[in-house]
Amino acid sequence: MRFPILISPFWRPLLLLFGATGGRSFAQIEDGELRVRFGFLFDHRFPLAQIETVIPSRWPLWAGIGWRTTFRGTVGLIGTYVNIVEIRFKERQRVRMVLPLSCRRLCLSMADPQAFVAALRGRADLHT
C-alpha cells in the first residue's frame, strides 16, 4: 500500500528542486517494511517490527518545511504544516539524508493521515 506525502502548492516549487514530486514522495507498506521516500534526499526502509507507535501529530511553524532534523532523534519530511503523522521507533534507526542521522521519531505530512495510521496499525503490533 502506497500513501502520498502531502506537499502544499505554495512549497512545491522549492521542494521540486530536490526531487520532492508526487511520484517521489510517499510512504509504502510492503513485505514487513515501511519505505519512506521524499525526493532525492531521503529514501529509507524501516522494519515494521521496529515501529512502536503511530499517531496524528503537529509540526511547529518554526521547525520549517522540507527535510528537517533536530539532531536529537527527530526527522521531519514535511511538505505542509497539516496532516502530520508521527512514527516512534522502539530503537533508534540510522537514516541518511545528507548526513547519517539517528532517528527515534519520524514526522510525515500525509495526504490521508487517517488511512495511513490505520494501515500501519493493521500491519504491525503497535501501541496507540
pLDDT of residue 124: 62
User: Would 33 be classed as within a structural domain?
Assistant: yes
User: Would 7 be classed as within a structural domain?
Assistant: yes
User: Would 34 be classed as within a structural domain?
Assistant: yes
2/125: higher pLDDT: 2
Asked if residues 106 and 36 have their Cβ atoms less than 8 Å apart, the reply is yes
User: Would 16 be classed as within a structural domain?
Assistant: yes
* DSSP element (H, E) containing 103: strand 100-109
User: Would 128 be classed as within a structural domain?
Assistant: no
Number of domain units in the chain = 1
| 54-74 pLDDT, tens digit each | 999 999 999 999 999 988 899
The values of phi and psi at residue 2, to 5°, are -115, 135
* DSSP element (H, E) containing 15: helix 12-16
State the residue range of the domain holding 97.
Answer: 2-123
| 70-107 pLDDT, tens digit each | 888 999 999 999 999 999 999 999 998 888 899 999 99
Length of the chain: 128
Q: How far is residue 69's CA from residue 77's CA, in Å, rounded to a whole number?
A: 9
